[in-house]
Amino acid sequence: MVTHSSADKAAPAVPPFATLPPLTSARLPELAPRIKEAWLRHPVLVFHRCELSPDDLVRFGALFGTPVPVPTQEAIVDTTGLPPEVMVISNIVEDGRPLGHLGGGELGWHTDMCYVAEPALASALHAVETPEGHGDTWFLDMSAVYDTLPAALRDRIGSLSCKHDDSRTAAGDLRHGRTPVTDITTSSGAVHPLVRVRPESGRKALYLGRRLNAYVPGLPLAESEALLDELWGYCDNPAAAWAHRWQPGDLVVWDNRAMMHRRDAIPDGARRLMRRIQAR
């Protein structure tokens, strides 16, 4: 069964996805060189029928960088027995308590950890429990999006940066202890260039992070809003968008420098449980 597909019949010469053999704890050292080689060409790697413990997932993440502990401000679920770097993402609620983060609603296009000074280089999701036909994760090739920008717009943003709001989660929920942003020009959050380069390929990518409360420092607010709206408009590009339909045991890792992702909503009563690792 094909579990990842383009939203458009057009396909790039080097697709962002590469499918590799199933992973187990025993095969992880054996396949590590092949994984690293594939990562040089493909910003999204897919593995099916993986049998990995949470500790294995941390070891997998270490192939791409240093695994990042889950932020304490988001530790709202029981993580007993899990390594500090593994985050549970789930819509399941048992006895009134969520089993994981981010619920079951639709998540718009975003880049993980764009709001911190050193964002995640790689993010990986390992599917433990998935609903049939729901909760797809979509990926958007931001290098392909950058290539569609008019030359004048590429020149304009080449020296500009964007500030990424750190007050809310990818689901739009206000983080614990934070207050709503009233002035995005002075709000907190990391500043990153609008254009990033993936060193493995040398390709440039548009780095937008998230739209909510984003701001281009140095521009009047109205001009910043207009520019960001224009750039986000180029993200409506079916030829650059790919969906992954999850099955239990799937493992997907992607490069946050070159890809954005989003999630389709999960219907009430459908159960989805994933484990996430991030490395930088």
Q: How many whole angstroms separate alpha carbon 220 and alpha carbon 169?
A: 26
Residue type, 190: A
In tens, the pLDDT along 78-95 reads: 788 899 999 999 999 888
pLDDT confidence of residue 74: 55
The residue count for the chain: 280
Q: Tell me the whole-structure pTM to 2 decimals.
A: 0.89
Classify each residue of 142-179 as buried b or exposed e, where b means 16 or more C-beta atoms within 10 Å of its C-beta: bbbbbbebeeebbeebeeebbbbbbbbbbeeeeeeeee
How many Cβ atoms from other residues are within 10 Å of residue 248's Cβ? 13
Whether residue 138 contacts residue 242, with contact meaning beta carbons closer than 8 Å, is answered with: yes
DSSP H or E segment with residue 60: helix 54-61
> 3.60.130.10, 3.40.50.1110, 3.40.50.20, 3.40.30.10: which CATH number matches 4-139+241-279?
3.60.130.10
pLDDT confidence of residue 102: 86
pLDDT confidence of residue 78: 78
**Domain residue limits, the chain:** 4-139+241-279, 142-174+181-233
Q: Which residues of the chain have pLDDT under 50?
A: 1-4, 7-14, 73
Q: What are phi and psi of 152, to 5 degrees?
A: -65, -35
In tens, the pLDDT along 185-240 reads: 998 899 999 999 988 888 999 999 999 999 999 999 999 999 999 999 999 999 89
pLDDT confidence of residue 169: 80
Whether residue 248 contacts residue 63, with contact meaning beta carbons closer than 8 Å, is answered with: no
pLDDT confidence of residue 1: 33
